[in-house]
Structure 1
Amino acid sequence: MLGKLLKYDLKYGSRFFILLHGILLAACILGRLLFFERLDFDAGSDIIAPYIILATSLYVLLFTAVSLGTAALLAVRFYRNLFTDEGYLSWTLPATPVEQLWAKLFSGTIWYILDILILALSLVILLSGSNLTAAYAKVAPEITEALGMPLGRYGTMLLVFTLLSSFSGTVTIYVCISIGQLFPSHRVLCAILTYFITSAVIQIVVLGLMVIFNLFPGPYINDAATETDTVQYLFTTLKLSGVINFVLTIVEYFATRYIFIRKLNLT
């Protein structure tokens, strides 16, 4: 039954997902061919800087919109399928609450992974043209020194970490919606507020742990920092974030599971 639920969930919203990311890929291809490949990087910085800032701002907004669109797709599917009138039918299926939850978690994580990979691919398409590559080669040593490693290696590390956190991101969305449905009214608003409150608490906890363990850049990064120092700081920060995400994911999963089993309210 879990497989059938997963298959059905993946079919939901697939057209919207394909359309959204198709627009992103098309925009990146056009941006590469019509803008970055024609940009004269030998011109003065005062001439090309406004164009680069404008293009960067537009693409950041586009990437953010696509990412939020994917999150909205997961949230809407989860809420409509389990906590609205459609939920009355969903809960009559021969599947346990835990199976319903894992079907949503698997499908949501798959959508998130695909979203992250397509976002990464769109960046590669946008920025890998010969014109931009040649311009980057001129400043590559400075960027490598600043990051403590080549840009490609740095980007790969962030990509891997982001992929690993896709499951925790899915659980966070689902637990906020599940908590929101516990309220007698304004459930969507309560779910949104729960999400922002949870995010704020997480940021405070992360900041507190960084203070406690003295993990701010100062001890690792200074004017004489080596590549090892920078990598050490990066790995330490990622490990801290990974541990927090792992613990938080477990707590959020069992909270959602408890609500599914003990506190489900469709009225």
Structure 2
Amino acid sequence: MLGKLIKHEFKDTAQNFCAMYLIVLLIGVVLKVAIEIEVSFKIDNIILDIVSLIMVTAFVLGILAIMFGTIILILKRFYDNVVKDEGYLTFTLPVSTGKIIATKALVSYLWIIISGLAILVMGLLMFVGHTDAFIIIKKGIVETCDKISNAGLWSGVILLIIVILVSLYSYISVGYACFSVGQTWNKNKLLGAVITYVVIYFVTQIISVVAMVVIFGSNMTVLDDVAMVDKSFDYLMIFSLALTVIKCAVCDIITHVVLRKKLNLQ
């Protein structure tokens, strides 16, 4: 049943995401063609320059739209499908509240990953046809990897990647918790969600600052010491990972408990 839920959720959300990707991709293609024409034929035309400038602006805005639009779309999907009137249909399904939340969270996280890959592909699109650019990029990656290996920092890099991946999920977890708590506020559901987010944010920041002081001492200028940073980076990443995991777990529990015991669809 969970597999069917995931498949249905993915199909229902695919239209909006694919449309967003396609629009930005088309803008990128037009920009690429305009740049190639201008460079290949050495055209110095103010109209083409203006078109290129407009397309560059549109492309950058499109990339930003994918970044922020992905989060907005997945949170709006949860709000519309669970908190608002559609919630009546959602919670009539013969599945537990936990499976409903897990399905939406899993599909949402998948779309975040896909959006990240889409941005990467669209960025690389600008270098298509320029082998030298790819050679430079490859050389830069190899040199960076060598420096990391020589400095013995691979453990920190791996931890950083894990922290980033978990942090991406935290957007979903915190967002779901905020809307879940907010829906108990009757006519002020969005206000309740915003206030819940502010509370979670400040509590997390306070815990982070206290822990930083404990780890590095009251004199935070030690962070300017390169040796200190190198030595403590792994511990800092482990702390960040632990804090993020705990935050996600608490938010997931809040979402599950509130939706199971205090669901308010009025």
- Do these two structures clear the TM 0.5 threshold for a shared fold by scoring above it? yes
Query: What's the secondary structure of 2:73's corresponding residue?
Result: helix
- The amino acid of 1:206's aligned partner reads S
Q: Aligned ranges for residues 1-267 of structure 1 at < 5 Å?
A: 1-28=1-28, 61-126=61-126, 130=131, 149=148, 160-214=162-216, 218-219=221-222, 221-222=224-225, 225=226, 231-267=230-266
Q: Deviations over 1:129-175 (max 9, x none)?
A: 5565688899x69x96xxx749xx89987555423333332211111
CA contact (8 A) 2:181 2:196 kept: yes
Instruction: Provide closer, same or farther for how the CA distance between residues 236 and 155 of structure 1 changes in structure 2, counting only shifts above 3 A.
Output: closer
RMSD: 4.0
How far apart, CA to CA, are the structure 2 residues paired with 1:34 and 1:157? 41
Corresponding pairs, count = 243
- Displacement after TM superposition at 1:221 (Å): 4.7
CA contact (8 A) 1:176 1:191 kept: yes
- Displacement after TM superposition at 1:13 (Å): 2.5
Instruction: Provide closer, same or farther for how the CA distance between residues 34 and 220 of structure 1 changes in structure 2, counting only shifts above 3 A.
Output: farther
- Displacement after TM superposition at 1:236 (Å): 3.4
Q: Deviations over 1:102-152 (max 9, x none)?
A: 2222222222222233233334445785565688899x69x96xxx749xx
Segments of structure 1 that go 5 or more residues without pairing to the other structure are 40-53
Q: Deviations over 1:24-63 (max 9, x none)?
A: 4445566667569989xxxxxxxxxxxxxx9998766543
Instruction: Provide closer, same or farther for how the CA distance between residues 219 and 113 of structure 1 changes in structure 2, counting only shifts above 3 A.
Output: same
Instruction: Provide closer, same or farther for how the CA distance between residues 221 and 264 of structure 1 changes in structure 2, counting only shifts above 3 A.
Output: same
Query: What's the secondary structure of 2:216's corresponding residue?
Result: coil
How far apart, CA to CA, are the structure 2 residues paired with 1:27 and 1:241? 37
> Greater shift after overlay, 154-163 or 169-178?
154-163
Query: What's the secondary structure of 1:95's corresponding residue?
Result: coil
Instruction: Give the share of equivalent positions with the same residue, in percent.
Output: 24
Segments of structure 2 that go 5 or more residues without pairing to the other structure are 40-53
CA contact (8 A) 1:98 1:257 kept: yes
- The amino acid of 1:102's aligned partner reads A
CA contact (8 A) 1:37 1:130 kept: no
Query: What's the secondary structure of 2:184's corresponding residue?
Result: coil
- The amino acid of 1:105's aligned partner reads A
CA contact (8 A) 2:27 2:58 kept: no
Instruction: Provide closer, same or farther for how the CA distance between residues 233 and 38 of structure 1 changes in structure 2, counting only shifts above 3 A.
Output: farther
How far apart, CA to CA, are the structure 2 residues paired with 1:56 and 1:208? 43
TM-score (norm 2): 0.72
- The amino acid of 1:16's aligned partner reads N
Q: Deviations over 1:211-264 (max 9, x none)?
A: 221189853554xx47xx665454333222211111111111111111122111
Query: What's the secondary structure of 1:94's corresponding residue?
Result: coil
TM-score (norm 1): 0.71
Query: What's the secondary structure of 1:92's corresponding residue?
Result: coil
Instruction: Provide closer, same or farther for how the CA distance between residues 119 and 189 of structure 1 changes in structure 2, counting only shifts above 3 A.
Output: farther
How far apart, CA to CA, are the structure 2 residues paired with 1:231 and 1:38? 46
